[in-house]
Amino acid sequence: MFTTEFLDLPALDTAHGTVSLPGSKSISNRVLLLAALSQGTTVIHDLLDSDDTRVMLAALRQLGCRIAPDAVVPGQAIEVTGIGGQLPADAAATLFLGNAGTAMRPLTAALAVLGGSFEMTGVPRMYERPIGDLVDALRQLGCRIAYLGNEGFPPLKIGRPDFSRFGQAPIQVRGDVSSQFLTSLLMALPLQAGSRDIVIEVVGELISRPYIHITLELLARFGIAVKNENWQRFVIPAGSRYRSPGEIHVEADASSASYFIALGAIATGMADTADADNATGRKSIRILGVGRDSIQGDIRFVEAARAMGAQVESGPNWLQVARGEPGQGWPLKAIDLDCNHIPDAAMTLAVMALYADGTTTLRNIASWRVKETDRIAAMAIELRKLGATVEEGPDYIRITPPASRADWKAASIHTYDDHRVAMCFSLAAFNPAKLPVRIEDPKCVAKTFPDYFEALFSVCQTERERIPVICIDGPTASGKGTIAAEVARALGYQLLDSGALYRITGLAASRAGLALDESNEETIAEMALDMPVRFDAQQRVWLGDEDISLAIRSEQAGMNASRVSALPAVRSALVDLQLAFQTLPGLVADGRDMGTVIFPHAPLKVYLSASAQCRAERRYKQLISKGISANISTLLADLEARDARDMQRATAPLKPAEDALLLDSSELTIEQVVAQVLSWWQERQPFGRA
């Protein structure tokens, strides 16, 4: 997951490959609550690991459910042992539900019916998301719920219900604000359906029916057969009781699939034969985890994407998407669509509209206004930043793409703590003007798809020159390794510590018993060509299955590296390995010839320096802190000798690239140096300051 302040997406050219999608948020949190209310243990497969499911799991644990393991482990099922429809008489808790509507609403309903003493809290945005219609419906039954802040909004205080006055009258609930209210009642009221039918009546038009469909399908899996009378009345039969299905699979999120369907529709184009999926020579995107048999309404996004020109094939749990033929499905066709049936995925259509041949209108989307943010306003503002013309109404949005290539603008997209804004705007990186796109606060995707950007990058291609590289070089002990790592972290870029590659080569060669000189130049170069080297996410270095992070850091390993790095054949052998680090979204490369030989076209090269005295003091402190005794004047003499050798050596002498910016760090802290490098980088971006 990218936890940086912003993520810059270079302009992207094409897309091709397979993505496996994470479990659906809506299904995950419903399944968790249903399992929690049931008797017995439910084994849940493919549960989404996200902010929303984490708050739900934490709340259920507080309510006394047994959950094992403690957190979602990829590839491992999670077991939830339910409360069997009852809480202890003295149950009490304060539940923090973040910004998770899929936890707040259903839990409020379930706890209000079960009774106890509960405070339902969350982040400030949660306190702006309406819940009054649900509270009104629950009060008809005799539930006791009080507002702790503003009337109609969380936080809430839940007490013991008094069902004595509740007769046969139907419970009425508004259907036109959020379908989550009806979903919440449908999941809570079976707890009270012991001796009589419970009837729920929808007042006003029911929006987002597809989500009610998911609720009904899942209730059926947990033993509750609700009668759906034309989406207006729902009857929970007397005697309904939650029963665990034992085991359940969470299907992937159809709304998340929309980004990759759109990607296929926009970016697959014609392929080199080697890349093509079939004899037609077309590229495509294959999506695993959701398909034709999905119970999710957003799967109907496929129809909308087809209407815009996408070519979509599907199977029970997969989709395959390719761009339409030029003139038929490409550019995309503008559409005018009622999106009530696909409210979440429709945001993706708004960004696809940027690639359409006219004005696209998305209607009946009033619910966008009460989601994670006011999505109509947010989409309008951000689409305009890219150069689109946007008209915004109470329940519609109308988008005209930039008139020509020259009308596209490089934009820094504000994401409003809304995962879907962040994900759908990443598709703007395929703009014909080849401008980069900045996504602010990329970690907000964690709500439903923590590794969204990784998944996106894994199937996107762009010209090598568009993937930015920052080169950082400097003499020994100039702090370049530390600075490079910090800059990479701040930007979410890959890190190449080229010195480590020479250290690894030196280690491998000396272990093979080779003298590290010209006599073995070719042999060592051959070794370097196919070393099984791997850097993991924690920056550990692996040679095969051995962690050699420490072994390559010894003084001896440094000496060996210095020797092998003086052999031209070894240097050439390592070129391809170094180039392979230039991957999306960008790279920070540290080492002496990064800016001169390996990445001569890098848009930013920094040459760090510091006085020999200052570097000697830094090295001294470093050694002392490791418990190694040292002497400043000896270190100073060593450094000066090494500088002289490094600058004079024939192979890859230490010298700044001609276009490098020089930075003397003698008087600067690490933070100041990092800030300077980042500020130079920002100046080179078309977005201005973040």
For binding to ligand DC (CB under 6 A), which residues are involved? 498-500, 502-503, 558, 561-562, 565, 591-593, 652
Q: Which of 132, 58, 130, 133 is nearest to 94 (CA)?
A: 58
Q: What is the CA radius of gyration of the chain?
A: 30
- Which residue, 335 or 516, has its beta carbon nearer to ligand DC? 516
Q: Establish whether 480 is an annotated binding residue.
A: yes
- Which residue, 184 or 562, has its beta carbon nearer to ligand DC? 562
Q: Which helix (H) or strand (E) is 41 found in, with range?
A: strand 41-45
Q: Is 344 a catalytic residue?
A: yes
For 563, list phi and psi in degrees, rounded to 5.
-65, -50
Query: What token pair was written down for 218?
Result: 């899942």
Nearest approach, Cβ of residue 481 and ligand DC (Å):
6
Q: Establish whether 475 is an annotated binding residue.
A: yes
Burial class, 32, CB count within 10 angstroms (exposed 0-12 / middle 13-18 / buried 19+): buried
Q: Establish whether 240 is an annotated binding residue.
A: no
DSSP 205: P
Q: Establish whether 233 is an annotated binding residue.
A: no
Note whether 578 and 584 are within 8 A (CB). Answer: no
Query: What token pair was written down for 575?
Result: 């070129």
Nearest approach, Cβ of residue 562 and ligand DC (Å):
3
Nearest approach, Cβ of residue 498 and ligand DC (Å):
4
Amino acid at 643: D
Nearest approach, Cβ of residue 522 and ligand DC (Å):
18
Catalytic-role residue among 46, 133, 298, 344: 344
- Which residue, 335 or 504, has its beta carbon nearer to ligand DC? 504
Query: What token pair was written down for 670?
Result: 């690490």
Note whether 174 and 95 are within 8 A (CB). Answer: no
Nearest approach, Cβ of residue 502 and ligand DC (Å):
4
Note whether 75 and 91 are within 8 A (CB). Answer: no
Q: Which of 117, 96, 100, 161 is nearest to 135 (CA)?
A: 161
Cβ neighbors of 72 (< 8 A, separation 6 or more) are 47, 48, 49, 53, 57, 78
Distance, CA of 435 to CA of 429 (rounded, Å): 7
Q: Establish whether 371 is an annotated binding residue.
A: yes
Q: Establish whether 477 is an annotated binding residue.
A: yes
Query: What token pair was written down for 360?
Result: 């696209």
Nearest approach, Cβ of residue 83 and ligand DC (Å):
57
- Which residue, 102 or 562, has its beta carbon nearer to ligand DC? 562
- Which residue, 132 or 558, has its beta carbon nearer to ligand DC? 558
Nearest approach, Cβ of residue 493 and ligand DC (Å):
18
Cβ neighbors of 414 (< 8 A, separation 6 or more) are 378, 381, 382, 421, 440
Q: Establish whether 395 is an annotated binding residue.
A: no
Amino acid at 426: S
Beta bridge partners of 391: 398
Give the residue at shortest CB distance from ligand DC.
Answer: 499
∠ CA 103-200-93, rounded to 5°? 30
Distance, CA of 170 to CA of 184 (rounded, Å): 16
Q: Establish whether 605 is an annotated binding residue.
A: no
Distance, CA of 227 to CA of 189 (rounded, Å): 13
- Which residue, 335 or 660, has its beta carbon nearer to ligand DC? 660
Q: Which helix (H) or strand (E) is 612 found in, with range?
A: helix 612-625
Distance, CA of 422 to CA of 661 (rounded, Å): 34
HSE, CB side, 13 Å, CA atoms: give it for residue 425: 35
Nearest approach, Cβ of residue 592 and ligand DC (Å):
4
- Which residue, 63 or 500, has its beta carbon nearer to ligand DC? 500
Q: Establish whether 511 is an annotated binding residue.
A: no
Q: Establish whether 23 is an annotated binding residue.
A: no
- Which residue, 60 or 589, has its beta carbon nearer to ligand DC? 589
Query: Where in the sequence numbering do the catalytic residues fall?
Result: 344
Q: Binding site residues, as ranges?
A: 25-26, 30, 101, 129, 178-180, 208, 344, 371, 375, 420, 447, 474-482
Q: Binding site residues for phosphoenolpyruvate, as ranges?
A: 25, 101, 129, 180, 375, 420, 447
Q: Binding site residues for ATP, as ranges?
A: 474-482
Q: Binding site residues for 3-phosphoshikimate, as ranges?
A: 25-26, 30, 178-180, 208, 344, 371
